[in-house]
Chains A and B, each alone.
Chain A
Amino acid sequence: MSANYTAILWNQQKKLYDRYMWLGIGLFMLVYAVFQLWLQPSITFETLIIRATALAAFVLLHLILAIGPLSRINPAFLPLLYNRRHAGVSMFILALIHGAFCIIQFHALSDTNPLISVFISNPKYLETSQFPFQTLGFLALMILFLMAATSHDFWLSNLSPAIWKVLHMGVYVAYALIVLHVATGAFQYENHPFNWILLFIGFWGISGLHVYAGFSERYKLNTHKNILAENGFYQVCRVNEIENTCAKTAFINGENIAIFKYDGKISAIHNVCKHQMGPLGEGRIVDGCITCPWHGYQYLPHNGQSPPPFTEKVKTYDVKILEGYVWVNPVPKEEGTFVEPVIIEKA
């Protein structure tokens, strides 16, 4: 939780994450290479590298894109989200190797600068079947580069989480470009139905997961349109509907609020984590702190401040309990403002 450029800290879980991720990448490339050399021994080294890295990167990108919706659908996938940016950087490295080998193999040692050649060799931009697909891959690689280069928390803090998040949404643009790159490039030549079916499943699988997770999220989200309001307070739920150490979320007048129950008390803070805008309301109170489900940033429930030495702060809200119901005032207090927790009276 620091804004200084510190080396990336590899804790036990991150090490485990990286180990399994690279095991998967290694396994894919190894099986691919072994079968390639067995079934098509005349393959050149360059083609083997170009194909193995491209496919490994593309498969990994699908997994990266699936992690978000999967962990919204089932929190047991959250550990995959914890270190997703290492997966992103690894994917970029594979894509970079693929891109570099392609540019050298298809464009270098020629009468034109290789980088310019990518864009001008095949100028049929207006034709679908002959479209210069390499340009799409190149643009996608540039987006992935920007994302990998700014993946450190240093950039997250300096760009602000909102801008960082928008930048990193670029992964969807990159994905669309890569799908088109594959569809108008490699699969024009390697056009066996198996390949097209895989691409189809991948694309619709990712799209479907996002739509499904989005709908189930909307369903879960408490949009309080027709609820009771009194003196600026809105009724949210019964006190006993909130599990101890957990939260209930409410979206009132544009405010995204998480109302936590802990130690016989109720407190409300903004539902958006300062780190990468994770959903704090899906977190838990651990050691007296609201703990974000994504990467474990912590906030004190009564003032929305991260415990020292950390400095993150979120908005807080007034709450009250009336006849067993929790009421919240959606007018936010300044970030880090102390709000007296409401004691839950025993019935």
Chain B
Amino acid sequence: MSKKEFYIGWQGKMPENTRKFLKRFLWIAMALIVVMAIGLVFFEKPFKKHFFNFGQLDQITGVYYDEPYPFILTDYNAESGQAKTVLLVGSGKFGAKGIMDKIQDKSGALSGIRITLEGTLISGDGKTLLELTNGTDALKEMLNVELIETPAPPAPENVTLQGEILDPKCYFGVMKPGEGKIHKSCAIRCISGGIPPVFRASEGDSQDERYRYYLLLDQKGNPCNKEILPFVGEPISLQAISTKMLDWDVLFVNIKDIKTQ
């Protein structure tokens, strides 16, 4: 009879030496598992300190504008020119235009009117967005018509920039992370669904991660969501005309002047 142990699964008991061997193996495997799990977290890229107030509805009051993308001007100081805009986005991977159009079908045109909207706040790196979580129920109040004389934009400038086109809804808070290759398809779907494309240009070196954000429009200042889809979520360089719209930097870009890197 061979003295070597022979394991048979359907027998109740495992041979003694095999049991001891596997016990040792299990301890080593478990230790490796723990080290791996810790290492994988430890060497992860830190998430941006952006914020999505999931599950909580907030109300925001300001003057509504339809173009180039629906937004609300919540705060404006004519003297200093300081302004605070809140970009509006829809639920899921959609822009706010569809919802705001439906609201205006009932309420009449809202552009230039002070209104109160309810939704979920998204904010990060100085930018704020409001998701109209409850769709057409978002409009809570219509106040007065308010004519605001917005400051003349600075002289347009030709710029060459490097960076990435992002969807601001995910990037500024809904998703962690909301950038780069892993988020590329989602960003494409969001921008395709009408969420305003935002170009993030790096400022300073890659270590300190300071960014400048631009709303991306075509040369005539119109939305260009579908046209820029091939360039979303990857390193690109572009030549464009840069200007400002209230607190947002804006780029007027010819699609031909966008290059993948």
Q: Show the binding face of A for B, using Cβ within 8 Å.
A: 11-14, 20, 24, 27-29, 31-32, 35-36, 39-40, 42-44, 46-47, 55, 59, 63, 75-80, 82-83, 105-112, 117-118, 121-123, 129-130, 132-134, 184-186, 188-190, 192, 194-195, 198, 243-246, 283-284, 286, 291, 293, 295-296
Contacts and interface: CB of A to CB of B under 8 A. Distances in A.
A190 B45 contact: yes
Contact of B41 (A36, A78, A246): A36
Given A40-B41, A110-B193, A112-B189, 14 more contacts: A27-B33, A27-B34, A76-B18, A78-B7, A79-B7, A82-B9, A107-B186, A122-B184, A129-B234, A133-B181, A184-B181, A189-B182, A283-B6, A286-B8
B94 interface: yes
Nearest to A42: B47
A243 B30 CA distance: 37
Given A44-B175, A82-B7, A109-B92, A24 B189 contact: no
Nearest to B20: A76
A117 B47 contact: no
Given A192-B43, A286-B8, A243 B38 contact: no
Nearest to A294: B9
A105 B94 contact: no
B181 A189 contact: yes
A20 B14 CA distance: 15
Contacts of A121: 184-186, 188-189
Interface residues of B, number: 60
22 contacts: A11-B12, A13-B10, A13-B14, A29-B37, A31-B38, A36-B44, A40-B47, A55-B37, A76-B22, A106-B186, A107-B185, A110-B93, A110-B190, A111-B193, A121-B188, A188-B180, A190-B182, A194-B39, A195-B40, A243-B4, A291-B8, A293-B7
A32 B176 contact: no
Contacts, number: 184
B186 A79 contact: no
B84 to A, nearest CB: 24
The main secondary structure of chain A at its interface with chain B is helix
Interface of B: 1-2, 4-12, 14, 17-18, 21-22, 25-26, 29-30, 33-34, 36-47, 49, 51-52, 91-94, 175-177, 180-186, 188-190, 192-193, 230, 233-234, 260
Nearest to B52: A44
Contacts of B1: 244-245
A112 B42 CA distance: 36
Contacts of B185: 106-107, 117-118, 121-122, 132, 134
B37 A32 contact: yes
Q: Which of A109, A129, A245 has the most CB atoms of chain B within a 10 A radius of its CB?
A: A109
Contacts of B46: 40
A111 B189 CA distance: 7
Contacts of A35: 37-38, 41-42
Nearest to B177: A189
B123 to A, nearest CB: 13
Contacts of A79: 7, 9, 14, 18, 22
B128 to A, nearest CB: 17
A137 to B, nearest CB: 11
Given A32-B37, A121-B189, A243-B2, A109 B182 contact: no
Contacts of B26: 20, 24
A77 B52 CA distance: 49
Q: Which of A32, A55, A79 has the most CB atoms of chain B within a 10 A radius of its CB?
A: A79
Contacts of A80: 22
A130 B231 CA distance: 10
A241 to B, nearest CB: 13
A198 B8 CA distance: 34
Contacts of B17: 76
Nearest to A186: B182
Q: Which 4 A-B pairs have the closest CB atoms?
A: A109-B92, A82-B9, A110-B93, A121-B185
Contact of A14 (B9, B37, B43, B186): B9
Q: Which of B5, B10, B93 has the most CB atoms of chain A within a 10 A radius of its CB?
A: B10
A26 B48 CA distance: 28
Nearest to A80: B22
B9 A195 contact: no
Q: Which of B1, B25, B44, B175 has the most CB atoms of chain A within a 10 A radius of its CB?
A: B44
A310 B112 CA distance: 84
A344 to B, nearest CB: 15
Contacts of B260: 130
